[in-house]
Amino acid sequence: MANSKFKLGSIENPVKFEDQDYKSLRDASLKSGSLFCDTTFLADQSSIGMPEDPNPDNEVTWLRPKEICDNAVFVEGTTGTTDICQGQLGNCWLLAALSCLTMHPKLFAKVVPSEQRLTDGYAGIFHFRFWQYGEWVEVVVDDRLPVRAGRLLFSYSRSKNEFWSALVEKAYAKLMGYYSSLKGGNISEGMEDFTGGIAYSQLVSAYKPPVLWRQLTAALSRGTLLSCFIQAKTWREIGTVTPEGLVRGHAYAITDTDKVLKDSTEVLLVRLRNPWGFVEYRGPWSDKCKDWEKIDKAEIERLELKKVEDGEFWIAVEAFSSFFDLVELCSVKPDSLSSSTDPAASWSLTEYEGSWVPGCSAGGSRRYRRSFWKNPHFQLSLTAADVEKEEDEEDEEDDDDEDDAKAGGAALSAAAQKQKEKGKKCTLLVELMQRDRRSQRKVRFLYIAFHIYKVENHVGSLNQAFFSSRKPVGRSGKYQGMRGVYKRVLLEPGNYVIVPSTYRPNQPGDFFLRIYAKTGNTLGHEEFTCSTNFLMTVMSNPPLPEDQIRVDNWFDQEDASDDRLDAAAFMRLVNSVLEKDYHLPLETCRQLVLGQDTKGKARLDRTQALKLVTSLRNLQSTFLEHDEDSSGTMSPFELTEALNASGIECDSEVVKVLWERFGSGEIHLPFHGFVSCVTRLRALHELYESESPEQKKQGLNTWLLRLLAL
């Protein structure tokens, strides 16, 4: 295949969504003479994802472009920022990003392959490419579009016979699950999915108008996608129009900057686009403002001023600064995200995928100190042949740290202060994204953040004590309910761990973490001396006198001919010793019996029974101690600590498999499950110790993970 030389997931060899191959499907349709109909994204209400309107006057039909317009075309002339108009779907964030994309032909061609037409070779099928968490994905759609009362229901072009934007919207809706999944969002999502770049936000109020204008101008010259936003104070304000003609809670694309002379005074201008395709700014320097009468006609032509209601308009930067709250930027190349002026700078990229599993690896924020350490963490080694001196960005107060708040929001840890003094840093660009949240019926982003800890001269596991005794040397800032959080971080060479987390514990979710480092720095995952391994201490407690008496009495009572107890008899013995709520079922007792050397008889002698009774009483005490809410069950967070107290220290991957094996997917583990965990781990440890050196080469953790699932 022609694409085999390219990595799967690259723009040249994208992942095929739903395993649909565009060329094969198109050729099959052309050969059969029938137009393509997509069976994976049906032309009915299920793809819209909203209840059907019972009013027959609002019936939705699905038509192909040539059924809507006789002279339908995919693209009329060239694409531009005014091609896209928002329909009856609250996805201005997506369309604003798409407007920005039209200004960059090379980027646009990545998303919208240029060979597509509604004429030659037309088969009713189109394909588009979107970036998704480190990979480019190709999405195939047919061209049946939802129509109501003769008009496209959703996105449309100002040129009524042009359909590329409506088809891009359909492909993106298919990728996300439904059209309704596109309701509400941040422009950064769309900009990242159209480019693979990193998007971040910037407060307008942080800069004086001339400085802001220079920054916007420089960003546009670097190919950065820009958009802006007016914050709505309440949900009722969203979509309302200000006296100046600006829409609150609405995304605008920033399409250009320029300057003109008025009465010998330089006026700095910003050009914006409202995705609605109408409703424009009515203040100074708007399309029909008299200010333009004092500007040379050649300048007006150069600026391509159009006095039509197309959603695009100019605004002075001072007015822009007073009306708008936030600018969102998406840089395709990391260079524009760093303050370094080195034109030869290049970057290496490291990517990770992970999950927050409730009760297991969803530890919540630093506010939840007993569980924060259970969050996934990624070890990084950073060495630099060429470090640079840069000013630290202002560090945000970490709103999940109660101790910091009590201390008046102390900004940085002692380690970070030392870094400032030294001044020599390596630049990291870190972004944490939560995956696939839009594919759910109701879009709801978790509040997420990441923290970075220095691992220096630390021996032992990265456990609760480690994270409780240290403060992060870098972090994304306050927890935000957005798809992604980003931060430029300056760090000394050394070993670190990055901990992504949700604000509250036990919130399920998948995430994608990407880290850029300047080439010359070695950025990678390494096993430090502090990495957690499986450790076991065989704890032998002498039997209590009352246990000896109880076991002897039980054996005498059973009157077994060979002075041994089978699993059922042992169950009765154990449950007479343990508290009622912690009785063991027969299967667990059978497991305990088979774990002993019974010479093939599956029956316990007095010594073995006494040993197990003592062990179970100790395990019950441990369980009670770590069952903090006295529920009679424990979470995986509590399980880890209880295992440690029992002499077994496991890493998070082993605990996950244990939970799947003995917790049956439930959020709480009963006492008999805890007993099974300990029994299985001890038996496997003994088995591993008896293995040959050749078998042990894979390491204990790998060996355990393979056998625990059996």
Angle at 549 between CA 544 and CA 555, to 5 degrees: 125
The full 3-state SS of 44-98, as one line of letters, equals CHHHHCCCCCCCHHHCCEEECHHHHCCCCECCCCCCCCCCEECCCCCCHHHHHHH
Cα-Cα-Cα-Cα torsion 7, 8, 14, 15, nearest 10 degrees, comes to -170
The two beta strands, 145-148 and 494-502, are unpaired
Two structure tokens written together for 481: 């309910």
- Residue identified by tokens 């050009």 is 271
Q: Of the residues 85, 91, 250, 521, which is catalytic?
A: 250
Helix (H) or strand (E) holding 225: strand 225-229
Q: Of the residues 274, 375, 506, 644, which is catalytic?
A: 274
| 202 touches 208 (CB < 8 A) | no
> Got the DSSP string for 93-136?
HHHHHHHHHTT-HHHHHHHS-TT--SSTT--SEEEEEEEETTEE
Q: Of the residues 92, 100, 426, 650, which is catalytic?
A: 92
How far apart, in whole angstroms, are the C-alpha atoms of residue 110 and residue 131? Answer: 10
| Cβ contacts of 190 within 8 Å, gap of 6 or more | 93, 94, 95, 96, 97, 98
Residue 85 falls in the annotated catalytic set: no
How many other β-carbons are positioned within 10 Å of the β-carbon of residue 126?
26
Nearest of 395, 370, 398, 378 to residue 468 by alpha carbon: 370
The helix/strand/coil state of 484 is: strand
One-letter identity of residue 325: D
Residue 668 falls in the annotated catalytic set: no
Two structure tokens written together for 168: 């891009």
How far apart, in whole angstroms, are the C-alpha atoms of residue 75 and residue 84? Answer: 12
Residue 701 falls in the annotated catalytic set: no
Nearest of 219, 224, 274 to residue 245 by alpha carbon: 274
The residues assigned a catalytic role are: 92, 250, 274
